[in-house]
Amino acid sequence: MIQNLLPGKHGKLQLWIVMFGSFIGLSLVMISTQLYLDFKNFLTVKSDFLSAQFITVNKKVNVLNTLLNSKSTFSAEEIETLSKMPQVKQVAGFVSNRFRLKTSIQFAGQQLYSDLFFESVPDEYLDIQPDRWEWDSVEGIIPIILPADYLNLYNFGFAPGQGLPQLTPDMISMATLQIQINGEGKERVFKGRIVGFSHRINSILVPMDFMQYANQNFSDAPKLEPSRLIVASDNPADPALMKYFDEQGYELNNELLKNSKMQSLMRVILTIVLFLSAIIIALSLTGFVQFSRLLINKKEYEIRILYYLGYTHRFIASKYLIFYLRITSIVFLFSLISLFAVQYFFGDWMAYKGFEFESTIKLEAICSGFALFAILLITGAWDIFRVTKKLAKS
């Protein structure tokens, strides 16, 4: 019988507005949390150093340096000092070839020749771990990692103009390079195979054990100091580290700092979005409270009579609480759906745009929404309880 009276059907328009507003607020919070976490994973290059990021460092080359013939390489002391910086986890020098090398490739019906250089870094500094990253001394096959930019340059810069086909990493890995190595009066021809593309290191990389083997066997030049260093750091954008680099006249690969800059940009955007969502949610909370008070006020006469009939304020409040739980749950449910939809379509869109974008629904995103839903529910329920109780007392 009581459902004929409570909670009543007033303020339909207001209810829709409040529900829509809180839906936007809840969705914004969940989606921004989700996207932030997705981007964080995307921008943080996976590595054995866990959270570490990598930068390459070299000394500035300028006219004065060249004229004075000052060193552009790093001494052991300089490396030692750098590795003791608190922001620095680990440092390694690039090892260069001290032998001459030439490559030729049969490609699109032409034989292409080129002089070449190789560099090596310890394996743990690589951002990719290709399957065939093993120097095969018996077959004489050298695995090679190229900068990812090279492939892009070829595919989007060179190939279209030359009427050449675009290539995928898989296609390239099938091609074999002829690599001729000279030195110490010896010469040997190896086979080269491109096994991967690195986003992190802008160089032509070969395995360290091959480099050591070849430098020993094809060169009598003394071991060179490295001219480039790769640095693993938790926070390469740390101002103290930047200042140190500046003082020492070191130059770094700014491109690789882009990610950490994008991360801070993301953090700023997220903060703004969260701030906006907070306002929206505060407004919808007020809206919900006002709305449930409107419903209660419209039924004040009926509620008073029910109290005179002996109904408890808990019973009266429960009628409103059930209704309130229902509308807020609907809002939460729709916000969840919007989160899943955005996550699904955004992942697809990023894949379509050519990013290796891994996205799974983040528990944190759902939890953030649920926490707000709980706040909405508890505050609203508390107010309903308070207002109905006040009515019972008066």
Partner 1 sequence: MNIRIDALVPSFLEGKIPTGNLWAKQIALDDTGYYLINANSGKGKSTLLSYLFGVRKDYQGTIHFNNKNLREFNIDDWADWRSKKISMVFQELKLFPQLTALQNVLMKNELTKHFSLEQTRELFSRLQILEFLDTPCQQMSLGQQQRVAIIRALHQPFECILLDEPFSHLDNENTGLALNLILEHCKIQKAMMIMSSLGSNHGFNFTEIFNLAS
Contacts with partner 1 by CB under 8 A lie at 1-2, 4-5, 302, 304-313, 389, 392-393
The least distance separating partner 1 from the CB of residue 299, rounded to whole angstroms, comes to 10
Q: Which two tokens stand for residue 357?
A: 């974008």
Nearest to partner 1 of 136, 302 (CB atom): 302
Instruction: Single out the residue of 10, 3, 4 nearest to residue 296, CA to CA.
Output: 10
Nearest approach in angstroms of CB 27 to partner 1 is 39
Cα dihedral: 286, 290, 291, 297 (round 10): 160
Minimum separation from the CB atom of position 3 to partner 1 (A):
11
User: Which residue number, 190 or 320, has a Cβ lying nearer to partner 1?
Assistant: 320
Q: How far is the CB of 373 from partner 1 (least distance, A)?
A: 30
Residue with smaller CB distance to partner 1, 279 or 305: 305
What's the min distance (Å) between Cβ of 297 and partner 1?
Answer: 17
Residue 245: which residues within 8 A CB-CB, separation 6 or more?
57, 251, 252
Per-residue DSSP letter, 136: B
Q: Among residues 334 and 385, whose Cβ is nearest to partner 1?
A: 385
Q: How far apart are alpha carbons 341 and 321 in whole angstroms?
A: 30
**Cβ nearer to partner 1, comparing 223 with 393:** 393
Rg for the chain (alpha carbons), in Å? Answer: 33
DSSP state of 118: -
**Based on the number of CB atoms within 10 Å of its own CB, is 310 exposed (0-12), middle (13-18) or buried (19 or more)?**
exposed
| Shortest Å distance, C-beta 323 to partner 1 | 19
Token reading at 148: 């990812």
Q: How far apart are CA 196 and CA 212, in angstroms?
A: 21
- Residue pair 22/288 in contact (Cβ under 8 Å)? The answer is yes
Residue 156 is which amino acid? F
Decide whether 5 or 43 has the Cβ nearer to partner 1: 5
Between 127 and 302, CB nearer to partner 1: 302
Minimum distance of partner 1 from residue 35's CB (angstroms): 49
Name the minimum Å distance from CB 314 to partner 1. 9
Q: For residues 37 and 339, is the Cβ–Cβ distance under 8 A? A: no
Q: How many CB atoms lie within 10 A of CB 31?
A: 21
DSSP character for 157?
I
Q: Which is nearer to partner 1, 1 or 174 (CB)?
A: 1
Nearer to partner 1, 59 or 313 (CB): 313
Distances (CA, A) of 127 to 146, 161, 170, 273: 12, 31, 18, 32
Closest approach of Cβ 305 to partner 1, in Å?
5
With H, G, I as helix, E, B as strand and everything else as coil, classify residue 354: coil
- Please say which residue, 10 or 261, places its beta carbon nearer to partner 1: 10
CA separation for the pair 191, 131 (Å, rounded): 17
With H, G, I as helix, E, B as strand and everything else as coil, classify residue 304. Answer: helix
CB of 309 to partner 1, least distance (A): 5
Sign of the Cα torsion 360, 367, 30, 326 reads: positive
